[in-house]
């Protein structure tokens, strides 16, 4: 690039005036110009793509900030829910202690025995009814 600029700048000086550029030199200079133009186009495209990437990075940053805010809100809600659950659990334990104190255990035992007795009676009734329905049928003549 510097050689090309030097040659182009110094073409008008006395040492280069006497001599015409050869066809090869003209062709090479034209190739260099085309290559420089191509590189400028590529650099321009790279610049445009960098601007697009910058905008996308800003959008991603905004989305990350939004997600961070939502995570903070969710964490706060979870903390509040945990606190409420602990409070409710403590209240339920106190209530259970009041309702099921030691003097009530005898009543619970009696109720369990009565329930088991009812289950046995129902089982026997159902068993007898099934046997009566499926028993031998009298012969008819």
For 67-97, the pLDDT digits (tens) are 999 999 999 999 999 999 999 999 988 887 7
> What pLDDT does residue 110 have?
86
Rounded mean pLDDT of the chain?
A: 83
Structure token pair of residue 64: 């990350």
**Rg for the chain, CA atoms, rounded:** 49
Query: 106 or 57, which is more confident?
Result: 57
Distance CA 123, CA 12 (A): 123
Is pTM beyond 0.85? Reply is no
> What pLDDT does residue 14 have?
46
Angle, in degrees to the nearest 10, between helices 23-99 and 2-9: 140
Checking if the pLDDT of 16 tops 70, the result is: no
- Buried/exposed 101-128: b ≥16 CB within 10 Å, e otherwise: eeeeeeeeeeeeeeeeeeeeeeeeeeee
């Amino acid at each position: 690039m510097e050689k090309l600029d030097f040659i182009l700048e110094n073409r008008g000086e006395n040492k280069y005036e006497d001599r015409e550029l050869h066809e090869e030199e003209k062709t090479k200079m034209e190739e260099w110009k085309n290559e420089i133009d191509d590189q400028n186009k590529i650099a321009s495209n790279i610049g445009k793509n960098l601007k697009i990437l910058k905008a996308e990075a800003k959008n991603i940053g905004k989305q990350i900030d939004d997600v961070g805010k939502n995570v903070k809100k969710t964490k706060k809600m979870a903390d509040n829910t945990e606190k409420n659950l602990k409070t409710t659990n403590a209240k339920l334990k106190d209530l259970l202690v009041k309702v099921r104190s030691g003097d009530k255990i005898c009543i619970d035992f009696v109720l369990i025995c009565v329930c088991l007795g009812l289950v046995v009676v129902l089982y026997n009734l159902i068993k007898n009814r099934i046997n009566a329905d499926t028993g031998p049928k009298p012969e008819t003549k």
